[in-house]
Structure 1
Amino acid sequence: MKKLVLALSFAFSIGFAQAQTSEVPKETWYHSDFEQTGVYGVNTEKALDFLKKNKRKSQPIVVGVLDSGVEHFHEDLKANMWINTKEIPGNGIDDDKNGYIDDVHGWSFLGTAKGINYNDDTVELTRIYKNLADKFETYDQQKNHDAIVKNPSEYAEYLEIKKEYLGAIGKAKYTQQIAQARLNAIEPGINKMVLEFGDTKLTKDIISKYQPTDSQVIEALWIFGEMKEEQWVGKTMKEVSNSYLGMARRQAKGDALTSHYNLDLVNRKDVDNPNDLKEKFYGNSDSNGPEASHGTHVAGIISAVRGNKIGNEGTSGGNHVKIMSVRTVPNGDERDKDVANAIYYAVDNGAKILNMSFGKTYSPNKEIVWNAFKYAADKGVLIVKAAGNSNEDIDTHIHYPTNFKPDGTTVSNAVLTIGASTRNADKLKAAFSNYGIKSVDVFGPGAEIYATYPGVDQYRFLNGTSMASPAVAGVAALVWSHYPKLSAQDIRTILMETVNKNEQLKDISVAGGVVDSYKAVQRAEEIYKQRKLK
Structure 2
Amino acid sequence: MSIYDHLIHANQLDNIIVVFSDRSGQAKNLDTITNCLGLKLASTSDYADESTSCSAAMSDADGVYIEEFDIAVLKSNNEQSSQITSLTNNPDIESVEPDVIMTALSQLDYLSGLKDGLYSGANAAITQMRKRLTDANSTSEEIPHIPVNTKYENTKMATWGMQAINANTSYSGRGIKVAVLDTGLDLNHPDFSNRCLVSKSFVSNEDVQDRNGHGTHCIGSACGPLHTATRPRYGVAYDADIYIGKVLSNSGSGSTSWVLDGMRWAINQGCEIISMSLGSRTRVGQGYSPAYERVGRRALEHGSIIIAAAGNDSGRPRYREPVSSPANCPSIMSVAALDEDLGIATFSNAGKDPQSGREVDIAAPGVNIFSSWPLTGMYNSISGTSMATPHVAGVAALICEKYPDLRGTDLWQHLTRHAEPLPHSIMDVGAGIVQCPL
Q: Bin the TM-score by the shorter chain.
A: 0.5 to 0.7
Matches within 5 A, 1:89-238: 105-111=198-204, 116-117=205-206
TM score, norm. by length of structure 2 = 0.60
Of stretches 293-302 and 457-466 in structure 1, the one that deviates more from structure 2 is 457-466
What letter is aligned with 2:337?
A: A
Alignment check: 8 A CA contact 1:64 1:354 kept = yes
Q: 1:328 to 1:22 in 2, by over 3 A?
A: closer
Gaps in structure 2 of 5+ consecutive residues: 1-102, 110-144, 352-356
Cα deviation, residue 490, structure 1: 1.9
1:329 matched to 2:248? The reply is yes
Cα deviation, residue 368, structure 1: 3.3
CA distance in 1, matches of 2:334, 2:288: 20
1:416 matched to 2:333? The reply is yes
Q: Secondary structure at the match of 1:501?
A: coil
CA distance in 2, matches of 1:388, 1:431: 11
CA distance in 1, matches of 2:312, 2:183: 17
CA distances 1:110-166 after superposition (whole Å, capped 9, x unpaired): 12xxxx32xxxxxxxxxxxxxxxxxxxxxxxxxxxxxxxxxxxxxxxxxxxxxxxxx
1:473 matched to 2:396? The reply is no
Alignment check: 8 A CA contact 1:79 1:305 kept = no
CA distance in 1, matches of 2:176, 2:359: 27
Alignment check: 8 A CA contact 1:304 1:312 kept = no
Judging by fraction of residues, say which structure has more helix. 1
Alignment check: 8 A CA contact 2:323 2:360 kept = no
CA distance in 2, matches of 1:22, 1:339: 35
Matches within 5 A, 1:119-518: 286-289=207-210, 291-319=211-239, 321-330=240-249, 331=251, 333-361=253-281, 366-391=289-314, 397=322, 399-404=324-329, 410=330, 412=331, 415-425=332-342, 428-436=343-351, 437-455=357-375, 458-511=378-431, 513-517=432-436
Identity level (%): 25
Residue in 1 aligned with 2:191?
A: 76
Alignment check: 8 A CA contact 2:178 2:275 kept = yes
CA distances 1:8-62 after superposition (whole Å, capped 9, x unpaired): xxxxx9x9947x5468569611111xxxxxxxx11112334xxxxxxxx964111
Q: 1:473 to 1:456 in 2, by over 3 A?
A: farther
Residue in 2 aligned with 1:45?
A: 168
Residue in 2 aligned with 1:31?
A: 162
Residue in 2 aligned with 1:65?
A: 180
Cα deviation, residue 106, structure 1: 1.4
1:2 matched to 2:104? The reply is yes
CA distances 1:154-212 after superposition (whole Å, capped 9, x unpaired): xxxxxxxxxxxxxxxxxxxxxxxxxxxxxxxxxxxxxxxxxxxxxxxxxxxxxxxxxxx
CA distance in 2, matches of 1:416, 1:64: 15
Q: CA RMSD in A?
A: 3.2
CA distances 1:225-267 after superposition (whole Å, capped 9, x unpaired): xxxxxxxxxxxxxxxxxxxxxxxxxxxxxxxxxxxxxxxxxxx
Which structure ranks higher in relative contact order (CA pairs < 8 Å, sequence separation ≥ 6)? 1
CA distance in 2, matches of 1:364, 1:442: 20
CA distance in 2, matches of 1:326, 1:476: 18
From the CA coordinates, give the structure whose radius of gyration is larger. 1
Q: 1:306 to 1:68 in 2, by over 3 A?
A: same
Gaps in structure 1 of 5+ consecutive residues: 8-12, 33-40, 49-56, 83-104, 118-285, 405-409, 523-534
Aligned length: 290
Q: 1:109 to 1:318 in 2, by over 3 A?
A: closer
Q: 1:26 to 1:503 in 2, by over 3 A?
A: farther
Cα deviation, residue 371, structure 1: 2.8
Alignment check: 8 A CA contact 2:371 2:381 kept = yes
CA distance in 1, matches of 2:293, 2:108: 31
CA distance in 1, matches of 2:387, 2:233: 14
Runs of 4+ with >4 A deviation: 15-18, 22-27, 362-365, 392-396
Alignment check: 8 A CA contact 2:154 2:160 kept = no
TM score, norm. by length of structure 1 = 0.49
Q: 1:334 to 1:109 in 2, by over 3 A?
A: same
Alignment check: 8 A CA contact 1:297 1:452 kept = yes
Alignment check: 8 A CA contact 2:153 2:160 kept = no
Q: Secondary structure at the match of 2:395?
A: helix
Residue in 2 aligned with 1:267?
A: none
Alignment check: 8 A CA contact 1:442 1:515 kept = yes
